Chains A and B, each alone.
Chain A
Amino acid sequence: MASRDAATDGDIVRAVLAGDVERYAVLVERHRDRHARYAVHMLGSPDAAEDAVQDALLRAFDRLADCREPDKFAGWLFLILRNRCLAERRRDRREGRLPEGAAEAVAAPERSDGALEQQEQGRALARALGLLTAEQREVVVLKHVEGLAYEEIAQRTGATVASLKMRMHRAYDRLRELMKEHL
């Protein structure tokens, strides 16, 4: 059973490269949900996220020989998924599927109460996240959803801590503006 495989990611990558294709199932099982939440927040829908994670895993398989550090397969897979998500976001923006910057605010319902209000605020915030730039959205997700420190985000994305903070601070202001009817 794949989940009981005690081999390291590096061992499995080397086994797959040596021809044992079925061992790739262990990597799929280990990493399928690991970055799924990131993908959902980046792309805005579970279906799009599932497609993105699948594409990333297949692309990783196709290019497995290029994995420079097999023991860091998870980080390498994240980079592939990240590129995929950012590319899709940029394509959506180019094709006008996301009216980035077009919306001035996310409308609030006329009346609400307690838990319902909280739920609605969560939904509105998810919509507001979709109106941020891909880079702003990513830093919000990695810091406030995935719980990473700026230094960890810098390590994963290759950006500097200073530029990440600048992105984040602009994102805070943008979210405040977009959510003004809910605050």
Chain B
Amino acid sequence: MTRTYHVDVKRVLDGEITLADLPPELQAEGAEALRLIAALDRAPVTLPPAFEAKVMRAVRDRATAPMRRVWRWLSAPHEVELRLRVRPWAVSGVTLAAAAVLGLLLVKPQPPARSGSAARPAAANVVFVRFVLHAPGAKGVAVAGTFNQWDQNAAPLIPAGTDGVWTTTLALPVGQHQYAFVIDGRQWIVDPAAPAMDDGFGRRNSLVVVTMQGARTL
């Protein structure tokens, strides 16, 4: 016959009550349960001294693997220095042109994208994607993802009205992007309006696919 512990004895083991709180008929069972848990080995564990060197050897091998170097070069941002030689009359021309473009942008703002993850083409391979989250009570909301190296300060959302709706529009390159919302700088949540996928480490990320026809959630 299976012997189970009384629910109050389990509360003693959980630390919710003490052995002294148990009625006399449960005292022996409580003491037995405490003895059982006390027998667990809590000694600290130290890995062998050579462990660190072994890991670092493997790390160096991986770091110098040709494919990894190529991938790192392709995925890392690079600074590009452009040197232009211009004549003084050209500077004033460029300034005037820039002012005209700025004026056009201010006079004729782009219509807002539709709610959700709708998008409109902006450049050759960039599409505006609107992120919307209903987070009443939040003091700040941001979106972080593969498109901004998971930087939670890079893309803050702005409150739209007073009913807890936060929104921002980002220019994203065509492709597949993973992202999550960050509430008040500490709570990471998936987009309730988009499917989520496991990131391989036990957490979930939302997924959006950006094409020249717009953005869609998978």
Residue of B nearest to A146 (CB): B42
| Nearest CB in chain A to that of B29: its residue | A176
Min CB–CB distance A55 → chain B (angstroms)? 10
Chain A positions within 8 Å of B201 at CB level: 63, 66, 76, 79-80, 83
Q: How many residues of B contact A (CB 8 A)?
A: 46
Chain B, Cβ-Cβ closest to A38: B45
Q: Tell whether, in the assembled complex, residue A68 and residue B55 are in contact, meaning their CB atoms are under 8 Å apart.
A: no
- A135 at interface, CB cutoff 8 A: no
Q: Are A125 and B47 in contact (CB under 8 A)?
A: no
Stretch in contact with the other chain, from B33-41, B90-98, B130-138:
B33-41
B145: nearest chain-A partner, CB-CB: A68
Within 8 A of A (CB), among B13-59: 13-14, 32-33, 35-37, 39-48, 51-52, 54-56, 58-59
Instruction: State in angstroms the CA–CA spacing of A79 and B204 once bound together.
Output: 12
Judge if A89 is at the interface, Cβ distance under 8 Å: no
What's the interface size class on A, roughly?
35 or more
Report the stretch among B1-9, B112-120, B168-176 that lies at the interface.
B1-9
Q: Which residue of A lies closest to B38 (CB)?
A: A144
> Which residue of A24, A68, A126, A158 has the most chain B CB atoms within 10 A of its CB atom?
A68
What residue in chain B is nearest A177 (Cβ atoms)?
B2
Q: Contact mask B144-162 → A, CB, 8 Å, 1/0?
A: 1000011010000000000
Partner of B188, one of A28, A68, A179: A68
Q: Contact check, A21 vs B46: say whether CB atoms are below 8 A apart.
A: no
Tell me the complex Cα distance, A55–B10, Å. 36
Whether B14 pairs with A168 at a CB distance below 8 angstroms is: yes
Cα–Cα distance between A33 and B55 once the two chains are bound (Å): 13
Q: Would you call A50 an interface residue if the criterion is a C-beta within 8 Å of the partner chain's C-beta atoms?
A: yes
Smallest beta-carbon distance A107→chain B, Å: 16
Please determine whether A68 and B144 come into contact, CB atoms closer than 8 angstroms: yes
A96 nearest CB across to chain B (Å): 24
Q: Which residues in B have their C-beta under 8 angstroms from that of A29?
A: 52
> Across the interface, which residues of A come within 8 angstroms of B149, CB to CB?
65
Contacts of A24 in B (CB 8 A): 56, 59
Contact status A36-B56, CB under 8 Å: no
Whole-angstrom CA separation of A74 from B13 in the bound complex: 28
B199 touches which one: A62, A66, A122, A125 (CB < 8 A)? A66
| Beta-carbon contact of B150 and A68 below 8 Å | yes
Render A97-136 as a binary contact track against B, CB cut-off 8 A, 1 for contact. 0000000000000000000001001100110010000000
Q: Mark A146-182, 1 if CB is under 8 A from B, else 0.
A: 0000100000011000000100110011011101100
Q: Which 10 A-B pairs have the closest CB atoms?
A: A37-B45, A36-B45, A68-B150, A173-B4, A21-B63, A79-B202, A79-B201, A125-B39, A121-B39, A28-B55
With A50-B47, A83-B201, A158-B202 known, 19 other A-B pairs at CB within 8 A are A21-B59, A29-B52, A49-B45, A54-B51, A58-B62, A63-B200, A65-B149, A66-B150, A66-B200, A66-B201, A68-B144, A68-B180, A80-B201, A125-B36, A129-B40, A168-B14, A169-B5, A176-B5, A177-B3
B interface residues (Cβ-Cβ under 8 A, vs A): 2-5, 7, 10, 13-14, 32-33, 35-37, 39-48, 51-52, 54-56, 58-60, 62-63, 72, 75, 144, 149-150, 152, 180, 188, 199-203
Q: What are 25 A-B residue pairs whose CB atoms fall within 8 Å in the complex?
A: A21-B60, A24-B56, A32-B47, A33-B47, A37-B43, A39-B45, A46-B45, A62-B62, A63-B201, A68-B144, A68-B152, A68-B203, A76-B201, A83-B201, A118-B39, A122-B39, A125-B36, A144-B37, A145-B41, A150-B14, A157-B202, A165-B14, A169-B5, A172-B5, A183-B36
